[in-house]
Amino acid sequence: MTKNETLAKSEQAADSLAGKVAVVTGAARGIGLEVARSYAAHGAKVVISDIDDAAAADAAGTVPDASARRCDVRDEDSVSDLIDHTLNLHGQVDIVVANAGIASVSPLAEMSFEMWRTMMSINLDGVFLTVKHAARAMIAAGTPGSIITVGSVTALHGTPLVGHYGAAKAAVVNLSKTAALELRPHGIRVNSILPGFAETALVTSNKQSYSDTVGVDFDAIIKQAQGGYVSVEDVAALALFLASDRASFCTGGGYVVDGGLTASLF
């Protein structure tokens, strides 16, 4: 083998998730599905989990070495079942991505408490429960692990009409830092990904309502501020890095993938 071939092989090895088992919540579509695809392509066995079990099963059918399990991240029994199911099926859980989330738009002064609570229950409680049960399984196994939470650039700045979403995401980033410190002695890394705006169902189902309320075309704002939409592949590339041994010294971090959106004041 030439020196270049040896180098290429060791580069591939650093990216490899062979022998690892990954669980991704909210993975029936969008960012979660692309993360699941990328993990499977790099050798992991993947459990694709979603509240929509039919969609999760369909998605798992398109990903090699993947299976599906229903999980509603708002419900502690459901999250605990997801981790137990994975342990029963594969004997281990090495990578858990707390990705499930929703979005809605409303000015705070008009936001119903129900809308606020729904946001918190999925986007914050759901992440807490996922991190909690992932951590318990990894601590019990005594093996290293990587937990990745999906935050958002809205965690870093005020964002009109999504105050509930941004507040939940800011809490997710903070929760992940504390989890990283508590779990470091166990060799478990915890990091957050903070994507800019990606054109998934979460965004497409809300952008008209956003545009109507603000009176500015949402796509135009994204083009000007972010240079276009972040792709799910861009987000998955970061999720692959954080799950892999390449990121062995990365823990407690929040990593933006946003085309420079948060670099600018205007």
Which residues have a catalytic role annotated?
165
DSSP 190-225: EEEEEE--B-SHHHHTTHHHHHHHHTS-HHHHHHHH
Closest to 16 (Cα-Cα) out of 51, 44, 35, 57: 44
Rounded least distance, CB 69 to ligand NAD, Å: 11
Rounded least distance, CB 222 to ligand NAD, Å: 9
Query: Based on CB atoms, which residue is closest to ligand NAD, 79 or 137?
Result: 79
Rounded least distance, CB 114 to ligand NAD, Å: 15
Rounded CA Rg of the chain = 18
Closest to 93 (Cα-Cα) out of 106, 101, 81, 111: 81
Tokens of 236: 């998955």
Query: Based on CB atoms, which residue is closest to ligand NAD, 90 or 169?
Result: 169
Say if residue 252 is exposed, middle or buried (CB neighbours under 10 Å; 0-12, 13-18, 19+). Answer: middle
Rounded least distance, CB 61 to ligand NAD, Å: 15
Query: Based on CB atoms, which residue is closest to ligand NAD, 16 or 76?
Result: 76
Query: Based on CB atoms, which residue is closest to ligand NAD, 120 or 141?
Result: 120
Residues that bind ligand NAD (CB under 6 A): 25-26, 28-32, 50-52, 71-74, 99-102, 122, 126, 150, 152, 195, 197-198, 200-203
DSSP state of 66: E
Rounded least distance, CB 194 to ligand NAD, Å: 7
DSSP 92-116: ---EEEE---------GGG--HHHH
- d(Cα 119, Cα 104) in Å, to the nearest integer? 8
- d(Cα 223, Cα 219) in Å, to the nearest integer? 6
Query: Based on CB atoms, which residue is closest to ligand NAD, 187 or 259?
Result: 259
